[in-house]
Structure 1
Amino acid sequence: MSVGQGSFNLDNQGVLVHRGIEMIAELSLSYDLIKKNNPEAQVSFNTTADSVFTEANLVQFVQAYFSRLHAYIPIIHRPTFQIETAPLPLLISIFLFGSLCYASQDAAISARDFFDLAEVYIFSHLTFRRILQQ
């Protein structure tokens, strides 16, 4: 699903569902790591994840990033970005940035609960650690 031209092909809805499940699974591991290392940590992760990381929100928040934020935060090459193949840390970042564009939507408000978990996940990801070691 390329978003280079600002449009989405919704023929791959199964892939979008899978990407949402991937995001939940990876953030859940980060949640477990935080709780293991600091039992008193005030980190939120529960069934809210299922209502936030949906295929509809994935499309909506990624589109919001490109239409409203990409001009100010051009961290990716827009013509070649594809939801199906984007590295998960990048997809989570774009998803959460895009959620900031929806101040009054329940899922967007709930998405803010995942910023700390996303930070732990992204900075502990093997790809990011390799970059830091170079």
Structure 2
Amino acid sequence: MLSLQNIHHVAIICRDYTRSKHFYTQILGLTVVAETYREARDSYKLDLAVNGLYQIELFSFPNPPARPSRPEASGLRHLAFSVLDIDQTHAYLEQKNVACEAIRVDELTQKKFFFIADPDDLPIEFYEI
């Protein structure tokens, strides 16, 4: 039997490293754990922490293909962050000029949530806990 403990990290490939680094660190407020330039791949790897826990790897590669978001493709659908106050989160992101979907209520849990898109159109959900 496997003894999975938790999700270790999520890897994201971006088209514009500088823009995505700004989005994830300055807009979403993730903390840089380490930043590495891999010359042989002409690629950056940025390790990011969410609330003190290393969880996201942001990669850049030369000319990656665009991500199909609509219509939705098979595979990993989105990245979701839990938040304490959905209204405050929504207002903060709008103040930072991030396009936000309307806040909705999950019909199964009755919890509030909404989506945005990162610079590469990766859907990001914010879910009130």
TM-score tier, shorter chain, comes to under 0.3
- TM-score under structure 1 normalisation? 0.26
> Which one scores higher on RCO, CA 8 angstroms, separation ≥ 6?
1
The structure that is helix-richer by fraction is 1
- TM-score under structure 2 normalisation? 0.27
Give the number of the structure whose alpha-carbon radius of gyration is greater: 2
The structure that is strand-richer by fraction is 2
